[in-house]
Amino acid sequence: MYRRIADDLSTAISGGAYAGGRGLPSENELASAYGVSRGTVRQAFAHLRGTGVVSSRQGARRRAQEGQRLQPMTELLSFSRWARSIGETPSSRTLEVATDGAPPEVAAALGEPAGSTVLHVQRVRLLGGTPTMVEDTFYPMRLEPLIRGIDLDRESITECLEHRGVVLAHAQHQIDAVAATRRVAGLLGVPDGSPLLRTTRRTTDPDGRVVELSVDLYRGEAVAFVLRNSATTNTTARIAAPLTARDGR
């Protein structure tokens, strides 16, 4: 029961329900709502505190940790949808839209022959006007006419593609840590060599056709990724061959 309570609170926190310093429910409120003892509730809070989701108790109410925004990895959400779900205002600054010869690893990830031309979109993504992530996304050329018609600084590519019948249904993610190059550090407003979280995402439509390969570099202190699994449901797959990412940006 304490894990169920912790999971429910974590889900609510990641969705922005307790943003802005709003206090979490009290021990008495949770004990009554779940029909458990206060000791069970304290176990739930101890678990959340140990994972960095909840701060130490302040007075009668505990609070969600401020600073990092929690992004759940159990849902396939675009940056814009996730930002709006936590009460943030997303925006973009487009750096490049070009047709490039794909590096071998990009062509392979997109399911294209070596040397194929792909559409490359690079943007800085912002939360509340603050640069948060540098996004490099590669698309097969069949999508170029659709993407060229999108206002990339104001609109979500994912949402616009959905409106045009292209659905992003499944994704495979790889997350690792890298140091910020001078260029990326300048774009994000952090010192050279700062730690960044890199996510490499390969997304397919319901028919299994690859829609995009995206390499996203997040400011390390700005976002944390949350992945939940359970021994009673399907386990998270371990990928033997990691996705490849384009370096040296």
How would you class 208 by CB atoms within 10 Å of its CB: exposed for 0-12, middle for 13-18, buried for 19 or more?
exposed
> In this structure, are residues 195 and 177 in contact, taking their beta carbons and an 8 Å threshold?
yes
> In this structure, are residues 185 and 194 in contact, taking their beta carbons and an 8 Å threshold?
yes
Close Cβ partners of 150 (under 8 Å, ≥ 6 residues apart):
157, 160
Helices (H) and strands (E) counted in the chain, each on its own, are 8, 8
Residue that wins the pLDDT comparison between 87 and 99? 99
| 240 pLDDT above the threshold of 60 | no
Close Cβ partners of 151 (under 8 Å, ≥ 6 residues apart):
none
pLDDT for 220: 82
pLDDT for 200: 95
| 36 pLDDT above the threshold of 80 | yes
What are the structure tokens assigned to 99, written together? 């047709």
The overall average pLDDT reported for the chain is: 83
pLDDT for 243: 54
Of the chain, the percentage scoring pLDDT greater than 90 comes to: 49
pLDDT digits (tens, 9 = 90+) for 154-204: 999 999 999 999 999 999 989 999 999 999 999 999 889 999 999 999 999
- Interior/surface letters 101-131, b for 16+ CB within 10 angstroms, e for the rest: ebbeebbebbebeeeeebbbbbbbbbbeeeb
pLDDT for 7: 81
pTM for the model stands at 0.67
Banded pLDDT at 48 (limits 50, 70, 90)? confident
How would you class 58 by CB atoms within 10 Å of its CB: exposed for 0-12, middle for 13-18, buried for 19 or more?
exposed
Close Cβ partners of 69 (under 8 Å, ≥ 6 residues apart):
86, 88, 127, 222, 223, 224
CATH 3.40.1410.10 intervals, the chain: 69-226
* CATH superfamily of domain region 69-226: Chorismate lyase-like (3.40.1410.10)
The residues with which 179 forms a beta bridge, in sequence order, are 195
Q: Average the pLDDT over 137-156 and give the result.
A: 94
Q: Average the pLDDT over 85-106 and give the result.
A: 89
